[in-house]
Structures are given as C-alpha cells and as structure tokens.
Structure 1
Amino acid sequence: MNTPPLVSVQTLSKSYGHKLVLKRISLDIAEGEVVALIGPSGSGKSTLLRCMNHLERQDSGCVLVAGEPVGFTLKNGELHEVSDKVLSYQRRSIGMVFQGFNLFQHMTVLENIMEGPTLVLKLPRAQVETDARRLLDLVGLSDWAGHYPSQLSGGQQQRIAIARALAMKPRVMLFDEPTSALDPELVGDVLEVMRTLAQEGMTMIVVTHEIAFARDVCDRVVFMADGEIVEQGPPGEVLSDPRHERTREFLRRIL
C-alpha cells in the first residue's frame, strides 16, 4: 500500500501583477524525505516555500500537509480561506527558518525558544523549558540560554532560529536559504545542525545554494527555473549528470 505524501503541492500557480512566478507546480514530499530546491534567483523557489505555509497566497492550486489544505478549508468541494486563528493552528505542523533570523531582540535565547510552545501550544512552562534546553543542546548552544540575540553571532542566531522552530514540534521544516546571510566561516555550524535533523528523520524542504549539502544530505534535488520544475531526482543524477541543458548551465555557473 502506498503511503500518502506528507506534503503535496498540487498545480500551484502564483503571480505578482502580470509576472507569473509559479506555473502549475506539483510536488510530493514523503515523510522523512529531505528535498533541496535549487535554481537561479527569480526561479520561484522561495515563493513556493512561502506558499507551503501560506505566507504567500497562491492564485490557484493547493498545498496539503498531512492531507489537510494549508490556508484553506474544504467545504462542499470548494476551498475557502481560513481565519488567521485557524491558519496559526494549521501552521503548528510547519516550521520555517528564514534568511534573516527574526528573533525577538528583547527576549533571551531561552525565552525566544519557549515563546511559541507556551503561548500557542499552551504547554506547561516546566515542560517547555526542559524541551527548550534540550534543543539548545541539540544546536550546540546550551551555554547561551540567558544571552540576548544581539550578543550572538549570525550563525548562532540562525541555530537559535532553528531551535525555536523545532520547539513547536513540526512535522516538516522549511528552510529558505538559511545560510545566505552568514559569513562563510559560520555556515558550517548551521549546516551541521540541519545534517543532524536529517539523520534524525525530520522532513525538510531546503531552498539552498549549498550544493555540497544538497549532494551529501538530501534525498532529492529539485531544479527550478522560470517558475517551473525543470528536473528532479537523486542528487547524484541531477547534480552530476543532469538531463536538461538549463540545469547544466546553472551548475556550470555556480560550481
């Protein structure tokens, strides 16, 4: 019996004004799969990721996570957009890490991680703190619990952002170029945390230019250009022996 995908993108289209940035994209991601989205700037990668948790509203099509539409509810065979409150509930299963760290500057590291589970999940504070300290240990920053974001390097802040997203116990993690804003010497620590998550079975969709990470860690590479999926497959195929000239041209430029 085939297991249904954890994330299912179905004929998704999105425009900004007259510019069509996603052209009927369909993509299924299995539970535990790690997928890299690669492609030139403007290809639609980040827009696709943001549509997956309804930060961007698509023009047509839908995204299902664990069989449920994100940002919508199905009534009488039609999709109806949900309220912000319902959307917040739906997003509990979708963690997202951005290029910028988006940490609360007035809160300590520990408070940043505890905020979501305490306010949204309504979990007991003692349990939340125990989980938060475990996550700090996971990202290698257990000694920084009482510090503020301004006291941390960019790489440390991004690792805290990952811990904060994980604190909501998501089913899937979305990463939108998580290392692009970092100095080169700080990239490795962030990628190492992501590598650990992959080894632990977390479903991950990663927009990235880190080709070595895509090759070594991901189960599948999806190459996008001009709002479409040009090709996809195992990293060894797409990155080492791409079928399409558009993919070959992109890899020649960045490698």
Structure 2
Amino acid sequence: MSLAVKAVGVRKSFGRLEVLKGLDLEVENGEVLCILGPSGSGKSTFLRCINHLEVPDNGYVWVDGAIMGYELHGNVLQELSIRHLRAQQSQLGMVFQHFNLFAHRTVLGNVIEGPMVVRGLRRAAAEARAMELLEQVGMAGKASSYPSQLSGGQKQRVAIARALAMEPRVMLFDEPTSALDPELVGEVLEVMRNLARGGTTMIVVTHEIGFAREVADRVVVMIDGEIREMGAPGQVLSNPSDSRVRTFLSRVLS
C-alpha cells in the first residue's frame, strides 16, 4: 500500500523542554493508527507537527508524498507561502478536543465554511454535500441549530462532519472524546468506527483503550517524546515489550 503520512526525525522543543525526540512513523492509506500515552508525552504536539500547526525544529513530515510546509527548488527547501500551506493543510482533516466550532454560525454554516472559502465551492453544492455528511454523523436534524444549543457529543459530531467536508486525505483526531461527559463518548466513537469501516485513513490520539483495541490497525505508545512501542493492538496492549509501556498500560487498564 502507498503511504499517506511519513514522519522522519521529528523533533520539537518549547524553550528548554524537548517534547518530541526524533520521531519516525509511517501510516499507510486506509490505515487506522491510534496513539496512546500518558499526559505530557508529546502526542498532541506530534499530531500538530503532522499538519504543520507546529513547525518541527528538526525532521520532516510528508503527506501523500509532499513535504509539509516546504517545496524543493533545485536542491534547496523553501517554505511554502501561507496560501500554499493552507491548501496543503486542507488535505488533513483535524478534529480537536474542544470542537472549535464557530459559535455565530449554524451547524450547516460551520460545515460549508471551509469548502466555500478554501475550495471555492458554490453554496448549493456545499450545502448538498454538508447535508450528506450531517446525515452520516446523525446530525442532519440539527442543521439550523447553533453550537450553544448542542450537547458536547453533538458538537463533536458536527466537528467531524466539518473536517470531512474538505475531503481530506487523512483525518487527525486529537483526543476527540476527552472533553465529553462519559455518556456522550459512545456516539462520537461510533461515528469514528463507521469512518474506519469505510476505509478512511485516521491518526487518533486517544485515551480510549477499548476503541484502540477494536478499531486500530496499529497502536503506538508514546512516553516522554519517544515512540516506545508500536504494533498490532493485541500485541501492544496485551504483551508490550517495553517496561514503561507495561507500567502505563497497567495503570490505565486497572
């Protein structure tokens, strides 16, 4: 299979704190990869480096064969213009922990914004596609509602539809259920399960061990800015070789 994402030697520091310590990772098209690890291990920072919301201090990320944030001129890498970077980033759908919906726009308005502004889609076409996606995530009946009128689970499902509206090559999820009340987690995970069944390439930072075990093709465990374990869910979650991973999993699974 061809690679959707390739990261090589990705490092990132904030001041004296080294958050990512030279990460290498490849994700194939159609693969679901779940990233686990304790808080502060660099998972979200790595996700933000993939879509160039954070610029790595060293190393590079390729998406669909193109290096994120740069283009090659002869043998010299030059930074992309903001316009070209935004076009590149639109290949990556990002679902955040706290939804990041536009409060002043309806559900439908949130979903059509990107396709109309970034991709130049006409309103009728954008609305037709948006309604298909809202139906897919079970939110078509709330198209005229505002975010303040929705539950957390409903907001997150709208956020997923909004990301999908840009027809991304890869969906990135940054702990999409961690801000939700426990009874609302299931409805968001079910939408994500359906995306996985449909062959969507997904990189999911999550604390939901059961979801990772059930849905992921591979699981990565990050600790202190390093990938300490990577492999099939059954192997990583049931019989990890790294002692620190065993300690982490024993805490979250107990």
TM-score category of the 2 structures, normalised to the smaller one: over 0.9
Q: Indicate the residue corresponding to 2:100 in structure 1.
A: 102
Q: Indicate the residue corresponding to 1:214 in structure 2.
A: 212
Q: Deviations over 1:183-229 (max 9, x none)?
A: 00000000000000000000000000000000000100001111111
Listed as ranges, the gaps of 5+ residues in structure 1 are none
State percent identity of aligned pairs.
59
SS at match of 1:6: strand
The TM-score normalised by the length of structure 1 is 0.98
Q: Indicate the residue corresponding to 1:159 in structure 2.
A: 157
Q: Indicate the residue corresponding to 2:180 in structure 1.
A: 182
SS at match of 1:102: coil
- How far 1:126 moved relative to its partner? 1.3
Give, in whole Å, the separation in 2 of the partners of 1:198 and 1:28. 18
Q: Indicate the residue corresponding to 1:74 in structure 2.
A: 72
Q: Indicate the residue corresponding to 1:252 in structure 2.
A: 250
Q: Indicate the residue corresponding to 2:82 in structure 1.
A: 84
Listed as ranges, the gaps of 5+ residues in structure 2 are none
- How far 1:76 moved relative to its partner? 2.6
Aligned residues: 253
SS at match of 2:104: coil
Q: Indicate the residue corresponding to 2:146 in structure 1.
A: 148
Q: Indicate the residue corresponding to 1:42 in structure 2.
A: 40
Give, in whole Å, the separation in 2 of the partners of 1:67 and 1:37. 22
Q: Indicate the residue corresponding to 1:21 in structure 2.
A: 19
- How far 1:79 moved relative to its partner? 2.4
Q: Indicate the residue corresponding to 1:239 in structure 2.
A: 237
SS at match of 2:236: helix
Give, in whole Å, the separation in 2 of the partners of 1:26 and 1:77. 23
- How far 1:124 moved relative to its partner? 2.1
Give, in whole Å, the separation in 1 of the partners of 2:229 and 2:75. 32
SS at match of 2:84: helix
Which of 196, 206, 210 matches 2:194?
196
Q: Indicate the residue corresponding to 1:119 in structure 2.
A: 117
Q: Indicate the residue corresponding to 1:54 in structure 2.
A: 52
SS at match of 2:3: coil
Q: Indicate the residue corresponding to 1:31 in structure 2.
A: 29
Q: Indicate the residue corresponding to 1:8 in structure 2.
A: 6
Give, in whole Å, the separation in 2 of the partners of 1:111 and 1:120. 14
The two structures, once aligned, show a CA RMSD in angstroms of 0.8
Give, in whole Å, the separation in 1 of the partners of 2:69 and 2:60. 9
- How far 1:77 moved relative to its partner? 2.5
The TM-score normalised by the length of structure 2 is 0.98
Give, in whole Å, the separation in 2 of the partners of 1:225 and 1:70. 25
- How far 1:71 moved relative to its partner? 1.2
Q: Deviations over 1:60-118 (max 9, x none)?
A: 11100011011111223332221211111101110000101111111100010000001
Give, in whole Å, the separation in 2 of the partners of 1:230 and 1:120. 38
- How far 1:19 moved relative to its partner? 1.2
Q: Deviations over 1:115-149 (max 9, x none)?
A: 00011111122111111000011111111000000
Give, in whole Å, the separation in 2 of the partners of 1:103 and 1:11. 33
Query: Counterpart of 2:77 in structure 1: which amino acid?
Result: L
SS at match of 1:54: coil
Runs of 4+ more than 4 Å apart: none
Give, in whole Å, the separation in 2 of the partners of 1:175 and 1:204. 8
Give, in whole Å, the separation in 2 of the partners of 1:146 and 1:228. 44
Give, in whole Å, the separation in 2 of the partners of 1:74 and 1:54. 17
Query: Counterpart of 2:172 in structure 1: which amino acid?
Result: L
